[in-house]
Amino acid sequence: MFKDKRIIVFCWLFCFTVFGGFAQKSNNSIPFSIYLSEHDSISFQDIIRTKKLFKDPKTFKKKTNPSQTFWIQLDFKNMAHQLEKDTTYNLKFKDFEYATFYYQNNATIGQRKIGRFDGIKNSELMIYSHGTYFNKHNLIDNRYLYLKVKRVKAFEPISLWKFTYQSQNEENEINRGLTWTNVKKLVPSFLFAGVCIIMCLFTFFFYVYFRQKEYLFYTLYVLSFFLYLCGYNLKIYDFLFNKNLFYSFWFYQNLQIVINIFYLSFILHYLKTAIDYPKLHFTIKILVLILITLVVLNATFILLNLFSGHLYVMSFHRFMMVLFGVCGMIYLLKNKKDKLALFIIIGSFCYMVGGLAHIFYNQYYIMLTGVSLEFIIFAFGLTYKMQQTQKEKLQFQEDSYINKTKALKAQINPHFIFNSLSSIQHLIATNHKEAALKYLTKFSRLMRNIMENSIEATSLLSDEIKILKDYLELESLRFDNAFNFSIEIDEAIDSDAVEVPMLIIQPFVENAILHGLLNKKEGAKTLIITFKMFESYISCEIDDNGVGRNAAANAANRIKKNVKSRGMEVTENRLRLLNTKNPQEKNIEIIDKYDDQGQSLGTKVIIKIPIN
């Protein structure tokens, strides 16, 4: 918990230091006074006759309201002498949504619509300061310029309003030149855009590959933020809406809510809240429904020019998301199930700091800093989850293999025990008591070895060979030493270090004895088992000089030969599970041996046992 707090405090100090040290300064500031009108019917002539109604901006303590109309009187009394006669100047101010510029035009008063929503086209420049042009002859009474404005996109203090001027030549040089001011404005946007595009491509690829929704919502989240923070600076909105600033504003405002829908949806799937955080899951589902409703309301209010409703919707949206952010981080800190929650906590904190700083300080790069930190942290979080998921998948596969192997081995043991008990029954029935006692002694030792190794799915090759020898001695005793056997081990094999699946060879040895050697009527009956070492597997060759498969199939006592041995079938499945690198490769090869006259010389079975 202490480490978590240190990380959050560090993020806070970092973000505060970043945006706390910057401030914009204005040159050639123009003094102004304001007249507030609650309705829009007052004409400019009425304003001229009532100049005394204009008040100092400091007297306006309340924030602006979209229903209010402001008349602004710009006073050039103390700076008119600085204006050159034949020079055009650019009057710079905030981006008012509705604004009319009043100026002296020879003997009459001219007016010009200059508001964002007044149908003007955006500038072709990448960096554009809102304003309009004028010259010294445009001053009314050689002193004043007037603006009639409405501020509809925000409730804001009038103290934030500033008016400056600059010669148009200087303005053009600044806008088109490579100045530090321009670099500071554009470079962060291009860098942020590059990061967003790369992240979108990678995470969308992961979504297509893994089909996990957290990658999809993260992609949409990053893409939405890219459009939100770079749409104006990189002229994306001009392209999408044909430079119509009203529809650009409509899209921009609704995008703020859509971003949080994708953000909440990402958290929902990333943290698997339905399983690990049911209370948080329920809260997020409710919030998403509320946000969808707010998008519909907000879009409708703006299209109908009901800007007060729009501002109240946005204020409620911001308050709700800040409250959720604070409460959600506290909830996750107290109830986190794993490290995944820490990525959400730290990333969300950076986003919240950047968002609040953008609202209260109106600094664009602060939002970029906070969001960039969040993107990086969430990307690390997705990478970490991918690694954890892969580990869980591998562990699941390993557990699945062990369980399947144990289940298959459990099918072999009853098969072998049944045959052994049948042998004991045969010896007792034929009155071979001494042989039966020897058989029981060897059988009990064999069973003990099997039971001791039954806990694990594999056993050492040396232990497997011991069990195999005991089994062969039992079978030889059972059939009155009717066959001879030998086991040969390659010197390159360290039988005390190599592990193989338990009882993997026994079914094939049994098959060679019962179907090959015992059906042979004349000559010596020999079984040779050879272990050889290869790069990725151990080869076990089971070579008998019996009658061969064709003769065994036609033997009168092999009526059931057409039924595949259950033990061999199970062993084939076990070997297939072991061979994860090449599951389609054949692990068992059966070779029929013949002499020059085509007479059967027996059968050789080659078993490839994969090893690590």
Q: What pLDDT sits at residue 558?
A: 45
Whole-angstrom CA distances from 240 to 116, 245, 356, 369 are 17, 11, 28, 26
Residue 521, CA atoms < 13 Å, CB-side half-sphere? 3
Integer Cα distance of 604 and 592 in angstroms: 6
Domains and CATH numbers, the chain: 2-16+180-391 (1.20.1070), 31-176 (2.60.40.2380), 432-610 (3.30.565.10)
Q: What is the pLDDT of residue 174?
A: 57
pLDDT of residue 126: 44
Indicate the SS3 state at residue 179.
coil
Q: Tokens 């204005």 — which residue?
A: 26
Residue with tokens 């859509």: 258
Q: For residues 427 and 439, give the distance between their C-alpha atoms in angstroms, rounded to a whole number.
A: 9
* Cα 490 from Cα 538, distance rounded (Å): 10
The tokens for 142 are 């050689």
Question: If DSSP codes are grouped into helix, strand and coil, which group holds residue 133?
Answer: strand
Over the stretch 121-148, which tens digit does the pLDDT of each residue have? 555 444 445 778 898 889 998 899 999 9
Residue among 173, 252, 268, 281 nearest 213 (CA)? 268
Tell me which range, 19-23, 77-81, 590-594, is most confidently predicted by mean pLDDT. 590-594
Report CA dihedral (171, 175, 178, 184) to the nearest 10 degrees.
110
Q: Are 354 and 15 in contact (CB under 8 A)?
A: yes
What secondary structure letter does DSSP report for 86?
Answer: T
- Structure tokens of 218? 């993260």
CB 466 within 8 A of CB 428: no
Q: State whether residue 375 is helix, strand or coil.
A: helix
- Which backbone phi and psi does 165 adopt, to 5 degrees? -140, 160
Task: For residue range 274-298, list pLDDT tens digits in order.
Answer: 988 999 999 999 999 999 999 999 9
Distance CA 296, CA 226 (A): 22
Residue-wise burial string across 363-381, b where 16 or more C-beta atoms lie within 10 A, e elsewhere: bbbbbbbbbbbbbebbbeb
User: Coil, strand or helix: which one is 548?
Assistant: helix
Provide the residue type at 393 as one letter: K
What's at 504, amino acid-wise?
I
pTM tops 0.85 = no
Q: Is the pLDDT of residue 608 over 70?
A: yes
Q: Are 289 and 305 in contact (CB under 8 A)?
A: no
Residue 136's nearest CA partner among 81, 75, 99, 73 is 81
Alpha helices in 67-179 (DSSP H): 168-176
User: So what's the pLDDT on residue 73?
Assistant: 93
d(CA 479, CA 514): 10
How many CA atoms lie less than 13 Å away from 257 in the CB half-sphere?
26
CA torsion, ordered 406, 407, 411, 417, to nearest 10 deg = 40
Task: Report pLDDT digits (tens) over 508-523.
Answer: 888 888 888 888 888 8
Strands 484-489 and 526-533: parallel
Cβ neighbours around 74 below 10 Å, total = 21
* pLDDT given for residue 403 in this prediction: 59
**In this predicted structure, what is the pLDDT of residue 1?**
44
User: Given a cut of 70, is residue 246 above it in pLDDT?
Assistant: yes
How high does pLDDT run on average in the chain?
82
Query: Which pLDDT score is estimated for 559?
Result: 39
What is the arithmetic mean of pLDDT over 568-590? 73
**Buried (b) or exposed (e) across 455-465, using 16+ Cβ within 10 A?**
eebbbbbebbb
Q: What is the pLDDT of residue 581?
A: 65
Buried b (16+ CB within 10 A) or exposed e, 151-164: bbbbeeebeebebe
DSSP states along 570-599: HHHHHHHHH--S-TTS--EEEEEEE-TTS-
Rounded CA gap, 359 and 355, in Å? Answer: 6
Residues in the chain: 612
Give 326-367 pLDDT, tens digit per residue. 999 999 999 988 889 999 999 999 888 887 777 777 667 778
